[in-house]
Chain A
Amino acid sequence: MPRLTALFVLCAALAGCGRYAVRPNEKEFLADPVMAFDGDPQEASADDHVLTNREGAAGGAGAGGGGCGCN
Chain B
Amino acid sequence: MQLARTASLVAFAAVVSIGVAHADDGIDVNTTWYQEQRQGGQGGLTVIHPQLDATVDVGEHSILSFGYAADAVTGATAKVYAVDAVSTATPFSDLRHEGNLGLAFAGRRSKLAVSGAVGVERDYLSLSVGATGSVDLPGKNTNLALAYSHARDQVCDKSNGELQPLERRALTGADPCAKDYGVFGKDTVDATMTLATTWRDLSIDTAQGTLTQNLSPTTVMQLSLYGQVLDGFQSNPYRQVRVGPNEPQEHVPDTRARVAISIKLNRYLRKLHGAVHLSGRAYSDNWGVTSGTVELAYSQYIGDSLLLRVRGRAYQQTAATFFKDAFFYETESTAGAYFTGDRELAPVRNAVIGGKLTLLSVAEDEHKVWGLFDRVDWNLKTDVFLLDELPADDEAANLGGRATQFLTSDQLLDAFELQLGLRTSW
**Chain A residues in contact with chain B, CB under 8 A?**
1, 4-5, 7-8, 11-12, 15-16, 18-22, 24, 26-30, 32, 34-35, 37-38, 40-71
Query: Does A60 lie within 8 Å of B214, measured CB to CB?
Result: no
B320/A56 in contact, CB under 8 A = yes
Q: Are B281 and A69 in contact (CB under 8 A)?
A: no
* Chain A interface main SS type: loop
| B: contact size bracket | 35 or more
The CA-CA distance from A34 to B224 in the complex, in Å, is 20
Q: Are the C-beta atoms of A59 and B417 separated by less than 8 Å?
A: no
Could you tell me if A50 and B348 are in contact, using CB atoms closer than 8 angstroms? no
Shortest C-beta distance, A35 to chain B (Å), equals 5
Which listed segment binds A: B3-11, B76-84, B159-167, B331-339? Answer: B3-11
Main secondary structure of the interface of B (DSSP, over half): strand
Contact B226 A1 (CB under 8 A): no
- Chain A residues near B357: list those with CB within 8 A: none
Instruction: Assess the B141–A20 pair: CB atoms within 8 A.
Output: yes
Instruction: Please state if B9 and A29 are interface contacts (CB–CB under 8 Å).
Output: no
CB pair A21–B51 under 8 Å, yes or no, is no
B283 near A45 with CB under 8 A, answer no
Cα(A19)–Cα(B174), bound, Å: 61
- B258: which A residues are within 8 A, CB to CB? 57-59
In the complex, are the beta carbons of B141 and A19 less than 8 A apart? yes
- Of the candidate stretches B106-114, B180-188, B194-202, B238-246, the one touching chain A is B106-114
A45 to B314, CA, bound (A): 19
Residues in A with CB closer than 8 Å to B350 are: 51, 54-55
**Bound Cα distance A40, B216 (Å):** 24
Determine the distance from Cα of A61 to Cα of B107 in the docked complex, in whole angstroms.
25
